[in-house]
Chain A
Amino acid sequence: MRQKAVYTTGEAAEVCKLSQQTIIRCFDSGQLQGFRVPGSKFRRIPRDSLIRFMKDNNIPLDGIESGKTRVLIVDDDPEIVELFVDVLKADGRFEVATAQTGYDAGVLTQQFHPDILVLDFMLPDINGNVVCKTIRQNPELCKTKILIISGVVNPAEVDRLMEAGADDFIKKPFNIEKVVQRMVELVS
C-alpha cells in the first residue's frame, strides 16, 4: 500500500477542507512548506509538511489519514511477514507496510510514518536495537511505537532492547489476539 508523498495545492485544499486560495496564500507566506516544480510555477507540498501544517493549525487529520493504525512489519522471515499481513488486514483497523531488512525498514519509516513498528530482533543486516536507536534519534518519529517480537529470549538482550527505545517485547510463538491487543494499547 503506497501513500501519496507529494500533494498539489488543490489536493491539499481537499485534504484540509480549505479553499485552494487559502492554501496558496499559506504556501506563499511560508506557513505551508513546499517547492515549485522546476521550470514552472506549479506549487507542490510534501506529505510531511502538509501534516505539520494541519497539526499546527488544529486541522483534523482524518482527511490525510485513513483513520487506521499504520503498522510497519519488519521480519526477515517472509512467512511471519505474511502471517502478520493476513491477521492485520482481516482485523481491518490497520494499514500495513512490510520490510525484510533493517535498511528497508529505515527507508519505509521515513516515507510511511508508521504509528507502530513490529520488529524482529535478529535481522540479516542490522540488529533490532540499532533500528530502535535510529528511530528514537529522529524527532519526527518520537511518537512511533516499537514492539519487538523475537524467537530469542535472552532477558539481558531484552533489557538492552528496552534501553535502546523499544516499548515492549513479545516472544515467538505468540498468541495473535494478545499481540494485536498490545499493538492497539501501545498506539492509543
Chain B
Amino acid sequence: MVDNPQQNGVSKGKLGPQQLDVILRRLEVLQTTPSAAAGLLQRVLSSWRRSAAPTQVQEELAAFVSCDPAVAAFLLHAAGSDSDSPPGSVRQAVAMLDVESLAVMAMSMEVLAPPTPRRKDAFDHAEFYRHCQAVAAGCRIIARRLELPVDPQEAWLAGLLHDLGKLALDLCLPKSFRRVLDAARSHQGNLVEYEQHILGVDHGLVGHRLAQQWRLPQALGAAMWLHHQPMGMIPPSSAGAPLIAVVGLADAIARHKNIGFSGNYAFAIPLEEQAKSAGLLAEELDEIAAGMAAEADRCFRLLGLENPWDNQPYVRAMRAVGEQLARANRDQRRATVELAGGAEAFGRLADFTSRLTAQAGVGEVLERIAILFAGVTNTAVAPDRPVAAYCLGDPGEPILAVRYDGTGSPSWRTLTARLPLDQAALQRPGPADRAVSALLAEPRELDLWLDVSNHSHQPLVCASQIIGGVLYPSAPTQPEAAPSAEMREAICGAVALALAIVGGRQRATLLGEQLAAASTVLAETHLALAEAKTLAAIGELAAGAAHEINNPLAVISGRAQLMRDKTAEENDRKTWATIAEQAQRISDIITELMDFASPQPPAQVAIDARAFLDAVTAMFRSGDHPKASSAMVDIEVDEGTPQLWADRKQLEEVLVEAMTNAANAAQTDLRLTLAAEADEINSAVLLTVSDRGPGMDPATVDAAFTPFFSLQPAGRRRGLGLPRAKRYVENNAGRMWLRSRKGEGTRVFIQIPHKPG
C-alpha cells in the first residue's frame, strides 16, 4: 500500500468519508508478523495431516488465531464472506471453513517487512499485539467478574480486535499514521485527536468501517468504533453497550498498567472513575491487570513475538503447505476424471429435464423416466430387456406403469397396489421380483407384459415416501461405463422430485376441476336460493299488501254496488258495476301474486292419470274461455302409466292454465293433445299439453315463465298464469318446461312424481 494522498484522493492530507471507503475497499488482507504467519501455517498443516481428532485440531487452531488480531479479523472475513450468517467467534469461523480453505487463507496472509535500521519503527507491532492480547484477556476477565450479559468468547474477540483500525491505518497510510504516532508520543497526547487532526478520521471509525466491509459481527464493529467514548455517552439500552463499556475499561487498564503498546498516551476519563462506574474497586483493578498481563504473555509467546521477524520458519511452513496443496490438487484432478464418467449420466438428466414442459402429465414424465433409465444404467433395451417405470397413486388408487423396450411406442398398464404398502421394503433398491411382490396386490398382473426375473428395482423417493420406481435389467450392457450407486441415487432424487411435482400439479389440477364443478353447483344453488328468497319476500309483501289494500277495495266495491242498486239510469248502473268489478280484479291480482310467491303446501294424493285428464278436460270445457266449449281434445295415456302423486287442486289449475294458454294462442279452432306416460328415470309421470297453434319465438319461450310477461295486449291478462303453474308443479316436487317453434305449435311438459312405493 502506498501512502500517497494524491493517489488516494486525499486533499490537504485529510480523508473524507468516501475516500476512506475507497481506501478500505482495496484492503483485502491485513499483515501479521512472520513468526505469527509461520505458526498459523504450521497449525493448518498439522490439522490437515491429523484428520483424526478434528475437534481438537480446530480448538488449537482457534486458540492460536485468537491471539492475533490481524489473522483473527481476516479469518472472520474469509468465513463470513460466503455465508448468510457471519461467524460470531473465531471458533465458529474455523469450524465453517474446510482445511483447504484454511490453508489458502493462511497462505494469503501478508507478512510485515522487518524494520530497517534506517527507518526506526514507530509502530511496534509485537508490543501492539501484546496490548491487543491484554485487552482481549481483560474483556473476558471483566465480563466474567461483573457477570455481564456478554459471551466471554465474544468479549475476548472484541478486545482483540478493538484497535483493528490502527492496523488498517498502518497498512494503508503508513507515513501519515507514523506522523500521528510521532505527534502523539511527542505531545504525550490523545492519539484519537491526532488521527482526526492529521488524517481526518480516527482508528475507531476506520475499524468500524472495516468491520462493516468485512461483515464482522455488528457488536464487534460497535466496540471498535466507540470504545473511546465516555461510558455515559452510550445509551445503556443499546444492544452493544455492555461490550463497548468492557472494551473501554480493559483498554484503559492495559494502558494504565503499561501492558503492551497502544500508541495512546492520554486518558479522557481517570481509570478509577471508569472502574467505579463499572462497579469495580481499585484493588480489583490490579488483580485484573495481573490476569491480563499473564494472558498477554502466553499469547505473545504463542505467536513467537519475542522474535517476530525471523523469516525462516515462515518460509519452511509456506513450502510445506504448498506441497500439501499440490497433493490435494492431484487428488482433485483424479476425482474430476471419475466425475467425468458420471457427467454423461447427468447430461441425460439434463436432457430429461429440458424435455419436460410445464404441461407434462404424470404419464409423459414416467415415459421419460423409463427412457432416461435405459440410458443411465447403460442398458441397451430390447423386447427381452425392457425398462419399466411406475407411479403410485393415492391410497386405493391404481398404480400407473409404463414399459419401454426401444421398439415402437411404450405400453401402459394400471396395476392394483398392495395395501398397506411396506414403505421400508420398497425404499431399498434390490431385486425387482421382491419389489413387485411388496408392491402389487396381484403380481400376476404383470404376466405376459413384463418379465422382471433378471431386473433390479430402483425406488423413487421424495420426502421419505416412495412415489414410484423403475425396473431395469440387472446386468448393464456396458458395465464399465455404468455410473456409481451414488450417481444413480442423485439422478433418482432429481427424477423423483420431477415426478412428485408433476403428480402434485396434476392433483392440484384435479382439485381445481372439482372445485370449479362445485362452484358451478354452488352458483346454481345460490341462484335458486336467491330466487326462493325473492319469492318469499314477494309473498310476505303481497300478504301485507292484501290486508292493507283489500279493506279500501272492499269499501270502493261495496259503495259502488250500493250506488249501482240505487241508480235507475242503465249507463250509470254499468259504470258503478265496472268500478266494483275492477276493485275485485285488483284484489284478485294480489291474491294470485301471494299464491304465486308462497303457494300452499301441497296435499298430495294418488291420482289416476286418465281419469284426471278427463276431469281436467271437462273442467276446461265448462270454463269461460270463448274457445273452450268448441275445443277438440285428444287424450293419450300410455299403458302402465303409474298414478300421479300431487295436490289435485293445484295440478288441475296447472293443466287448465296450460290449456288456456294454448287457447289464447290459437288463431283458429283449438286442438289439443293431452298425454301421459311413465318417466322411469325420474320416478315420475310426464304429462304433455300439445297444441297446433302458431308456436313461439325463442325470446317468448325464454320469458314464458317470467311473472307478468304476456303476449296479450296490456291490461288483457296479467301474465301470472304460466309462472304460477310452474310454481305449483315445483311445489309438488315436479318440473315444468316447454318446447315451441314458430309455426310448429307448442308442447308444455309437466313432470310430476309418481305415487311412492
Contacts and interface: CB of A to CB of B under 8 A. Distances in A.
A153 B600 contact: no
B550 A151 contact: yes
Given A79-B555, A86-B562, A172 B600 contact: no
A171 interface: yes
Nearest to A153: B591
Interface stretch (A9-17, A61-69, A93-101, A173-181): A173-181
Interface string A148-188: 01111111100000000000000111111100000000000
Contacts of B594: 153
B551 A77 contact: yes
B558 A173 contact: yes
Given A173-B557, A173-B587, A80 B562 contact: no
B551, B553, B556, B583: most-surrounded residue (chain A CB, <10 A)? B551
Contact of B555 (A83, A149, A175): A83
B547 interface: yes
A171 B562 contact: no
B583 A173 contact: yes
Contact of B550 (A154, A155, A171, A176): A171
A188 B600 CA distance: 34
Contacts of B604: none
Contacts of A59: none
Interface string B588-620: 000100100000100000000000000000000
A151 B554 contact: yes
B543 A151 contact: no
A87 interface: yes
A172 B587 contact: yes
B565 to A, nearest CB: 8
Chain B, interface SS category: helix
B584 interface: yes
Interface in B266-321: none
B562 A174 contact: no
Given A173-B553, A173-B584, A155 B600 contact: yes
Contact of A80 (B543, B549, B551, B583): B551
Contacts of A156: 600
Given A80-B551, A156-B600, A176 B543 contact: no
Given A152-B543, A171-B550, A176 B562 contact: yes
B327 interface: no
Contact of B547 (A87, A152, A176, A177): A152
A87 B554 contact: no
B686 interface: no
A86 B555 CA distance: 12
A172 B591 contact: no
A177 B584 CA distance: 15
Nearest to A82: B555
Contacts of A122: 547
Contacts of B557: 173-174
Nearest to A76: B551
A49 B558 CA distance: 39
B559 interface: yes
A172 B551 contact: yes
Chain A, interface SS category: mixed
A90 B549 CA distance: 26
A153 B591 CA distance: 8
A31 B556 CA distance: 52
Contacts of B553: 151, 172-173
Question: Interface residue tally of chain A, by bracket?
Answer: 20 to 34
B554 A152 contact: no
A150 B558 CA distance: 14
B561 A176 contact: yes
B546 A173 contact: no
A173 B550 contact: yes
A175 B553 CA distance: 12
A83 B562 CA distance: 9
Contacts of A151: 546-551, 553-554, 587
B558 A174 contact: yes
Nearest to A75: B551
A53 B120 CA distance: 154
Nearest to B561: A176
B111 to A, nearest CB: 108
B724 to A, nearest CB: 15
A160 to B, nearest CB: 14
Given A83-B559, A86-B562, A151-B549, A173 B554 contact: yes
Contacts of B584: 173
A174 B547 contact: no
B556 A152 contact: no
Contact of A87 (B546, B548, B549, B558): B558
Interface in B530-555: 543, 546-555
Nearest to A90: B562
A128 to B, nearest CB: 13
Nearest to A149: B554
Contacts of A174: 554, 557-558
Nearest to A78: B555
Interface string A96-113: 000000000000000000
Given A80-B551, A151-B551, A176 B546 contact: no
A172 B561 contact: no
A153 B558 contact: no
Nearest to A177: B561
Nearest to B584: A173
B554 A175 contact: no
A79 B550 CA distance: 12
Contacts of A80: 551, 554-555, 558
A49 to B, nearest CB: 39
Contact of B554 (A86, A155, A172, A177): A172
Contacts of B546: 151-153
B735 to A, nearest CB: 25
A149, A153, A155: most-surrounded residue (chain B CB, <10 A)? A153
B4 to A, nearest CB: 107
A155 B543 CA distance: 12
B392 to A, nearest CB: 61
Interface string A41-75: 00000000000000000000000000000000000
Contacts of A79: 551-552, 555
Nearest to B553: A173
Nearest to A87: B562
A158 B557 CA distance: 22
Interface in A117-159: 122, 149-156
B345 to A, nearest CB: 83
B429 to A, nearest CB: 77
A173 B556 contact: yes
Interface in B232-272: none
A109 to B, nearest CB: 23
B588 to A, nearest CB: 10
A36 to B, nearest CB: 49
Contacts of B554: 80, 83, 149, 151, 172-174
Contacts of A90: 562
Contacts of B561: 175-177
A175 B562 CA distance: 10
A150 B550 CA distance: 8
A79, A86, A153, A173: most-surrounded residue (chain B CB, <10 A)? A173
A81 to B, nearest CB: 10
20 contacts: A77-B551, A79-B551, A79-B555, A83-B554, A83-B555, A83-B562, A86-B562, A87-B558, A150-B550, A151-B550, A151-B553, A152-B546, A156-B600, A172-B587, A173-B553, A173-B558, A173-B584, A174-B554, A176-B561, A177-B561
What 6 A-B pairs come out closest when comparing CB atoms? A151-B550, A172-B554, A173-B557, A173-B554, A172-B550, A173-B553
Given A151-B554, A172-B553, A174-B558, 8 more contacts: A83-B554, A83-B555, A83-B558, A86-B562, A153-B594, A173-B550, A173-B580, A173-B584
Interface of A: 77, 79-80, 83, 86-87, 90, 122, 149-156, 171-177
